Amino acid sequence: MSSPSRSYLKLETRFSRLSALSGAAAILQWDSAVIMPPGGSSARAEQMAGLTVLSHELLNHSETADLLDEAEKTVSDLDDWQRANLKEMRHSWRHATAIAPDLAEAHSRATSLCEMQWRQARHDNDFASLSTSLTEVVNLTQKIAAAKANVFKTTPYDALLDEYEPGCSSMIIDRLFADLEEFLPGFLTDVQDRQSSEPPVILPNGPFDEAIQKRLGRDFMTALGFDFNHGRLDVSHHPFTGGVADDVRLTTRYQAEDFTESLMGTLHETGHALYEQGLPKKWGTQPVGMARGMVLHESQSLLVEMQLSRGHDFMAFTLPQIKSAFNGQGPAWELENLQRLYLKVEPGLIRVDADEVTYPLHVILRYRLEKALLSGDLSVADLPGAWNSGMQSLLGITPPNDTMGCLQDIHWPSGAIGYFPTYTLGALAAAQIFQSAASGIEDFSEKIQDGRFQDLLRWLRLHIHSLGSSTSTDEILRAATGGPLGSAAFKTHLQARYLSR
């Protein structure tokens, strides 16, 4: 094979610089959520806007377009990874050049300020104080979506969705969500009827020391394979994973009266972190070495939290350590009781606390609302009412206030419109992937009960993590599971876990 052209090699250098800028922005975002004082929000917004402008200018430079054109003429000189990398470079370039630099800068500044205002508004249950800044974010996002839709020849919403899950569309989402919306209400009734006939769940008595909760979380992260030489765990209002592959930053939150929330939140973010740490090191500064998209990213977090950690085998492994840490004694600390606690199904107000049966309904609501916000069919001022009406329709409950309603999520204030569907698409993918991994690993159940997760991590590294963005989500899923993304494995998993045990 011939050597890569000079134009391609220059592109690799340019995208390495972009990767450095992106990494700096990711660390600043983590810093904003974890340790920055509230008074630093304006300065941080300017810093983030500055990094956005630098990245945008580097991608928008006329030389980048020339280099892409030249490199594509000699694509036969590239190996498979280089070809995939060039394809991802072009995709990134198209997204960046679709919008003017001043619009990118304005959007970055507006979202940074809105995100900080959201933290206070959520604390104060004061949606009105956020309405003006959120309206600006939505207006700027509408302009970005329109510009990208023109370039990608698609709908504005699908143009934004493509940033989070390349190649996906609202047509695909509508089909899968319609299937879930038909299946879940009846299934939910069946599960609740069954659980009402079982012994009531006994809640372990707190308080549960935060330091002990953190230590347990770290212990289980280590057992699953997280490398603390390249990452850390901290506290924030909203659990998230940030940073870069060699410096992965996780956050969680703790409740003195309920250790289960922080533990599951920590394990959820560990799934994200393991994906980041497993991406191909050789391509770490290139687009092809990045996570494929948010469907696979969310599949990894939900595989760890829902498929693995709430299962009987994993709980058999963790229970002795949890009981020892909290000096747990009595019926509340028996395995079967804690299993019922972790698998309790009940419509609730908070998405991140939702069980896996009702969680998709939370996402369907947000999907509908963000599409309406983007199209202009729903104004920001009317969002609280639309949210409450949707919650009543889909889950049969109405939030008593906006903190437990439309103020609970950070996504829209941070400009992430188009992200929400990937949570449930990720849940569907997680079921497919876990099913394939479990059937492909010898003595899988026994290994999980013994805390031997190496084979599972190796399987995920081979079939998901190490592939980066070398191919599409659909192709990765087909190779790993034998089929495209669908709802069958997810429904089979729910029926086995909640109605057959």
The residue among 134 and 104 whose pLDDT is bigger is: 134
| Residue partners of 63: CB distance under 8 A and separation at least 6 | none
Separation of alpha carbons 48 and 305, rounded Å: 32
Buried b (16+ CB within 10 A) or exposed e, 478-492: eebbeeebbbebbbe
The answer to whether residue 403 is domain-embedded is yes
Same-domain pairing of 102 and 187: no
Model pLDDT, residue 470: 98
Q: Tell me, yes or no, whether 107 and 249 share the same domain.
A: no
Cis peptide before 207 (omega within 30 of 0): yes
Using the 8-state DSSP alphabet, how is residue 304 labeled? I
% of the chain at pLDDT higher than 70: 100
pLDDT > 90? residue 33:
no
149 and 176 in a single domain? The answer is: no
Q: Is residue 158 part of a domain?
A: no
Interval 310-345: pLDDT, tens: 999 999 999 999 999 999 999 999 999 999 999 999
Query: Which pLDDT tens digit goes with each residue over 142-154?
Result: 999 999 999 999 9
Contact 14, 67 (CB under 8 A): yes
The answer to whether residue 161 is domain-embedded is: no
* Tokens (6 digits) for 25: 């922005």
187 and 134: one domain?
A: no
Query: Which amino acid does the sequence have at 39?
Result: G
Q: Does 279 share its domain with 420?
A: yes
What are the angstrom distances between the C-alpha of 76 and each of 4, 80, 86, 493? 9, 10, 12, 44
Asked if pLDDT for residue 1 goes beyond 70, the answer is: no
Residue 225 and residue 82 share a domain: no
CA distance 355 to 364: 15
Q: How far apart are CA 339 and CA 486, in angstroms?
A: 27
User: Mean pLDDT across the chain, nearest whole number?
Assistant: 95
Annotate 456-477 with three-state secondary structure.
Answer: HHHHHHHHCHHHCCCCCHHHHH
Name the residue among 317, 347, 327 with its Cα closest to residue 259: 327
Which residue shows structure tokens 């600043």? 28
State the CB neighbour count (10 A cutoff) for residue 92.
18
At residue 254, the 3 state secondary structure works out as: coil
State residue 352's pLDDT score.
Answer: 86
- Which amino acid is it at 384? P
Q: State the DSSP code for 485.
A: S
Residue 326 has which token pair? 């909290």
Confidence category of residue 41, pLDDT binned at 50, 70, 90: confident
Q: Is residue 159 part of a domain?
A: no
333 and 242 housed in the same domain: yes
Question: What phi and psi, each to the nearest 5 degrees, are found at residue 242?
Answer: -140, -160
What is the per-residue pLDDT across 352-385, written as a single tens digit (0 to 9) for each? 889 999 999 999 999 999 999 999 999 999 999 9
Give the pairing of strands 241-244 and 247-252.
antiparallel
162, part of any domain: no
Tokens 């972009």 sit on residue: 18
Tokens of 380: 């920001």
User: Given this model, what pLDDT does residue 236 score?
Assistant: 86
Q: What is the pLDDT of residues 281-297, one digit of tens each?
A: 999 999 999 999 999 99
In a domain, 365, yes or no: yes
What was the pLDDT predicted at 14? 95
CB within 8 Å of 95: residues ≥ 6 apart: 148, 162, 163
- Within 105-258, strands assigned E span 231-235, 241-244, 247-252
Model confidence, pTM: 0.93
What is the pLDDT, as a whole number, of residue 32?
Answer: 80
DSSP 43: H
Distance CA 167, CA 445 (A): 35
Determine the distance from the C-alpha atom of residue 193 to the mean position of all C-alpha atoms in its chain, rounded to a whole number. Answer: 31
Q: In the prediction, which pLDDT does 193 show? A: 97
- Verify that 283 and 343 share a domain, yes or no: yes
d(CA 227, CA 243): 14
Q: What does the alpha-carbon distance between residue 270 and residue 251 come to, in Å, rounded to a whole number?
A: 10
Q: Say yes or no: 74 and 218 in one domain.
A: no
pLDDT, tens digit, for every residue of 157-178?
999 999 999 999 999 999 999 9
Number of domains in the chain: 2
How is residue 312 written in tokens? 């009987």
CATH of the domain at 276: 1.10.1370.30
* Domain encompassing residue 107: 6-153
State the pLDDT confidence band at 409, using cuts at 50, 70 and 90. Answer: very high
- Domain end position, chosen among 98, 121, 153: 153
User: In this structure, what token pair is assigned to residue 347?
Assistant: 């419509």
Active site residues: 269
List C-alpha distances in Å: 427 to 40, 304, 359, 468, 469. Answer: 36, 11, 9, 19, 20
Q: Answer yes or no: do 276 and 144 share one domain.
A: no
Spatial separation of the C-alpha atoms in residues 173 and 156, rounded to whole Å: 15
Q: Edge-to-edge strands of the sheet including 247-252?
A: 231-235, 247-252, 241-244
For residues 457-467, one letter each, b for 16 or more C-beta atoms within 10 angstroms of the residue's C-beta and e for the rest, the string is bebbbebbbbb
Check whether residue 225 and residue 125 sit in a common domain: no
Q: Answer whether residue 307 is part of any domain.
A: yes
Q: Is residue 166 part of a domain?
A: no
Q: Which of 122, 153, 184 is the last residue of a domain?
A: 153
Average pLDDT over residues 423-440: 98
Residues 130-134 have a mean pLDDT of: 97
Helix (H, G, I), strand (E, B), or coil: what is residue 228? helix
Which token pair is 322? 């949890």
Q: Are residues 392 and 493 in the same domain?
A: yes
**Span of 21-25, 208-212, 467-471 with lowest mean pLDDT:** 21-25
Q: Are 248 and 435 in contact (CB under 8 A)?
A: no
E runs forming strands in 223-371: 231-235, 241-244, 247-252
